[in-house]
A and B are shown apart, each in its own frame.
Chain A
Amino acid sequence: MILTAILAIILAAAIAPTLNRVLPALSHWFLALVPLSAALWFATQVPGVTAGTPVLETTSWAPSLGVALSFRLDGLSLLFALLICGIGAFIVIYSGGYLRGHPREGRFHLFILAFMAAMLGLVTADDLISLFVFWELTSITSFMLIGFNHEDARSRRSAIQALLVTGGGGMALLAGLVLMGSGSGEWTLSAIAASGADLRTHALYPAMLILLLLAAFTKSAQVPFHFWLPNAMDAPTPVSAYLHSATMVKAGVYLLARLNPTLGGTEAWFWALTIAGGVTALWGSAMALRSTDLKKILAYTTLMALGVLVLLIGIGSDGALKAFAGFLLAHSLYKGALFMGAGSVDHGSGTREVGELGGLWGKMPATGLFIAVAALSMAGLPPLLGFVAKELIYDDIFRNGHYLALAALLLANAAMVAAAATIFLKPFLGAPTKAAAHAHEGGAALLAGPGILASLSLLFGLWVGLPQGLLGAAADAVRGAPLGLELHLWHGFTPALGLSALTVALGLGIYTGQPAVKNALAKIQLATRIDHDRAWDCLLALLDRLARRVTGWLQDGMLHRYLAWIFTGILVLLGATLAVRGGLVWPGISLEIEDALGGSLALLILGGTVGAIRARSRMEAILSLAITGMSVALFFLLFGAPDVGITQLMVETLSAIILVLIMAKLPMLPPGSDRTRAAKLFHAILALGLGGVVSAIMLAVLDQPLALDLSHFFGDTSLLEAHGRNIVNVILVDFRGFDTLGEITVVASAGLGVFALLRARMGKRGRS
């Protein structure tokens, strides 16, 4: 059923462009039904999963490789799946309204639904390899989505940056998962957890940890890999709302949470996660305070939230993991609503600059209300879910005495209060501005998403019993053991409540003293100036230069130098293998030539070769080589390999024809450009060496007793099972037909390649 849900969403993606063409105004409502029904199905699984029985599904995929499509739905996966499908459905509706009349709306739905399917697969995959495949699919689909406005150079740059950073993390993920698999001997997450293999004491644990952390940190934009996320906000707003707040960037967090039971709990884990998470949270908060664009503010607060989530997993105490589950849900709900709301503001007024917005409350009351509710949740005020989550966080960190982390969280949360105030107060309640004069609501499609998500923030806050079971199951999954989560809106007068009050006071202080804070932050930033974007560009430019240098060195346009490189490579690899493996043997055969015909053919081959070497012109050389080739073909015919013989004959003829054709248009070499003496000597050594190595291999083969198993097998079965008497051909088209399919595909590409290359050359010549 999980696979069915994924496939259904892929199917919806496939029909999206056509559906959009047929029903331009309604397609998004129909398309949203698919993720919505998936979400409903997942919701029906909540009671079972909460009771402690995960849903398991296995479909054989590539059995010969041991890769299965196995899915597992425990609390953590279910929470994510519900967020992905639930928020996804509203995003599809929202983007229908947001992109109304856009010529590529259908394509957008295709991308976003494809991404949704990949993401759903990622959070439910149990098999390590499928996990990796889905992970990469999310990177690729998000590349398409960030670069959706591909006419815009900035979008393209951001898309490539995101792809390279997360794609690099994907490589690390594959390596890390393979290490995990070979280290534990199991290839599914559940089996690794159940086997009790202690990977933490494994000799390769540090390597595993580094690789998997690299994957998670790049995907979830942790410092120092955070720079791609704010740039990714060049994507259309629905993408930012969905990928860069609710789902994709949480994939890294998901990975860490998923691995916590098997890899977590060590010193290295604790420090890596708490430091990266804490720094990311602080950095995100500071940048959020400095930004004036609604979307940028939200992007940086997302960084803060991701940092907090990573920090909580790093701390790893029972309370921290409970808080993790609570904050995960709270953040996805309010941030999705805020992003969509900000998009509606942009849509209605034409700007996202806080400075240009004001007095929207009268024009866009519904959007304003939803943004207000979501912003209150972000600020962590009662009675919203954000408050409940924040209390959980404070409670545990305070009780465990991680005071440094506590200070970081306090600052970050105060910044959230200020950011929440910035997003709502001035744009909606401030003095009306020019941009706000024509502002208007965007219709049902633009209101449904933020409305429902904001209402859920409120509902879950008031009625904490509703999400409690699922969040508890999610926390249990992260711990790998039952924790017993209990949520309360009102904890009584606890230290956490005091910290909350302090946070709000501090946040409001920051908001009112905004200019001073911004100045101070700017100074700090100047002092610690690291321009990640600039560094990134330098890195890419460096890579480019290196590639250019190496290419220019290996392929300088002189054909004989290309060949020299290739032949040297073959000579070194084959020769070294032969020497190391002791393949240099003299077989027990006599060298007497008894057959007069064979002897004269051998002489002809030698004659052709000498002629080619001594030839004064290219034509002469080709004709001499043709003598050699034809003699070899005759050799085959003479000694019982007619198939090979005929083929060789035809190939020789064709080579001669094609070479003559090429020859006619090769430029005459200018005088003096002949090879130097040293080059000639090198080529002679290379040619003799390569010929010698190949001969040595032939002799080594002759020395081996001929294994006749295969010959017998093909001889026995060729006629009976494959209805053919010509064994060579039966092998080609039947027994090993799949290989031949690969070969003819290569032949086809070669044919088209020659065509394309020559056409390109002609085009260039035509222009110049």
Chain B
Amino acid sequence: MMDSLILRTGVRLLLPLMLLFSVFILWRGHNEPGGGFVGGLICAVGFALHALAFGVKAMRDMLKVDPRSILGTGLLVGILPGFLGAFSGEPYMTAQWLGALGTPVLFDIGVYLVVMGAILAMVQTLMAEGDD
């Protein structure tokens, strides 16, 4: 944890913006530069900065869930929609579309969650070890 007023103030302003931006990047990724991977990274950077400024416990309190659960959920969200194609007899991961919503979008959300969860799990453990 860094006891720095500048970082704390900056993070307080930056975190909501970064979260919004990460979701925006994720959403627009299909048509313009962006995507789940970058989105997940941005989100993770936001939380990691927060942890640097306010400590890892504050970050965990704000996150509410364990990053490892996020990671697992992401993996499930990535894997499960792939089976939808099975209902029409198509191979695994054949894209299914319903208007603008399709399984690739769900898959991208899975990527987002996995990247974010994995990085936060690392950051959290590294910082937790430093605390003791």
Contact = CB atoms under 8 A, between A and B. Distances in A.
Interface of A: 642-643, 646-647, 650-651, 653-654, 657-658, 661-662, 664-665, 722-726, 728-730, 732-734, 737-738, 740-741, 744-745, 747-748, 750-752, 754-755, 758-759, 761-762
Interface string B48-74: 110010000000000000011001101
Contacts of B23: none
A657 B48 contact: yes
Nearest to B28: A726
A762 B127 CA distance: 12
Interface string B115-132: 101110111011101101
A753 to B, nearest CB: 9
A325 to B, nearest CB: 45
Contacts of A653: 45
Contact of A748 (B25, B37, B41, B114): B114
A653 B114 CA distance: 18
A640 B78 CA distance: 29
Given A729-B108, A755-B122, A745 B75 contact: yes
A747 B115 contact: yes
Contact of A730 (B30, B97, B125, B130): B30
Contacts of B110: 744
Ordered nearest first, which 3 A-B pairs have the shortest CB separation? A751-B118, A650-B41, A642-B33
A489 B31 CA distance: 84
Given A650-B41, A751-B68, A762-B129, 9 more contacts: A646-B25, A647-B41, A654-B48, A725-B31, A734-B104, A750-B118, A751-B67, A759-B125, A761-B129
B79 interface: yes
A724 B38 contact: no
B111 interface: yes
B68 A752 contact: yes
Contacts of B45: 650, 653-654, 657
Contact of A733 (B48, B49, B104, B121): B104
Contact of A741 (B71, B93, B118): B93
Contacts of B71: 748, 751-752
Contacts of B126: 658, 661-662, 754, 758
Contacts of A759: 125
Contacts of B52: 657
A665 B129 contact: yes
Contact of A754 (B42, B93, B121): B121
B34 A646 contact: yes
Contact of A654 (B29, B41, B67, B95): B41
Contacts of B31: 724-726
A762 B75 contact: no
A759 B124 CA distance: 11
Nearest to A757: B125
B16 interface: no
A722, A725, A733, A762, most chain B CB atoms within 10 A:
A733
A724 B118 contact: no
Contacts of B122: 658, 750-751, 754-755
Given A647-B41, A654-B119, A748-B71, A754 B125 contact: yes
Nearest to B32: A726
Nearest to B52: A657
B78 to A, nearest CB: 6
28 contacts: A643-B34, A646-B34, A647-B37, A650-B45, A654-B41, A654-B45, A661-B126, A661-B127, A661-B130, A665-B129, A723-B30, A726-B35, A733-B36, A733-B108, A734-B107, A737-B93, A737-B107, A738-B92, A741-B82, A744-B75, A745-B75, A747-B115, A748-B74, A750-B122, A751-B121, A752-B121, A754-B122, A758-B126
B17 to A, nearest CB: 15
Contact of A755 (B48, B78, B125): B125
Contact of B119 (A725, A730, A751): A751
Contacts of B125: 754-755, 758-759
A643, A661, A730, A751, most chain B CB atoms within 10 A:
A751
B104 A654 contact: no
B36, B37, B107, most chain A CB atoms within 10 A:
B37
Nearest to A740: B111
Contacts of A651: 41
Nearest to B117: A751
Nearest to B44: A654
B20 to A, nearest CB: 16
A726 B30 contact: yes
Nearest to B100: A723
B10 interface: no
B37 A725 contact: no
A653, A665, A761, most chain B CB atoms within 10 A:
A653
Contact of A732 (B37, B42, B118): B37
Contact of B38 (A646, A723, A750): A646
Contacts of B130: 661, 664-665
Contacts of A729: 29-30, 34-35, 108
Given A657-B48, A661-B123, A752-B121, A728 B35 contact: yes
A723 B111 CA distance: 19
Contacts of A654: 41, 44-45, 48, 119
A253 to B, nearest CB: 40
Given A643-B33, A724-B104, A741 B68 contact: no
B74 A725 contact: no
Nearest to A657: B48
Nearest to B119: A654
A657 B33 CA distance: 25
A723 B102 contact: yes
A670 B110 CA distance: 45
Contacts of A752: 68, 71, 118, 121
A748 B36 contact: no
A655 to B, nearest CB: 11
A758 B127 CA distance: 11
A647 B49 CA distance: 17
B78 A726 contact: no
A736 to B, nearest CB: 10
Contact of B104 (A646, A737, A754): A737
A661 B105 CA distance: 34
Nearest to A751: B118
A647 B38 CA distance: 5
A722 B114 contact: no
Contacts of B93: 737-738, 741
B19 to A, nearest CB: 14
A336 to B, nearest CB: 43
B117 A730 contact: no
Contacts of A748: 71-72, 74-75, 114, 117-118
A654, A744, A745, most chain B CB atoms within 10 A:
A744
A744 B111 contact: yes
A257 B79 CA distance: 45
A211 B45 CA distance: 55
A722 B104 contact: yes
Nearest to B43: A650
Contacts of A723: 30, 97, 100, 102
B75 to A, nearest CB: 5
A747 B31 CA distance: 25
A745 B114 CA distance: 8
Given A748-B114, A751-B118, A762-B132, A730 B104 contact: yes
A642, A740, A761, most chain B CB atoms within 10 A:
A740
A744 B34 contact: no
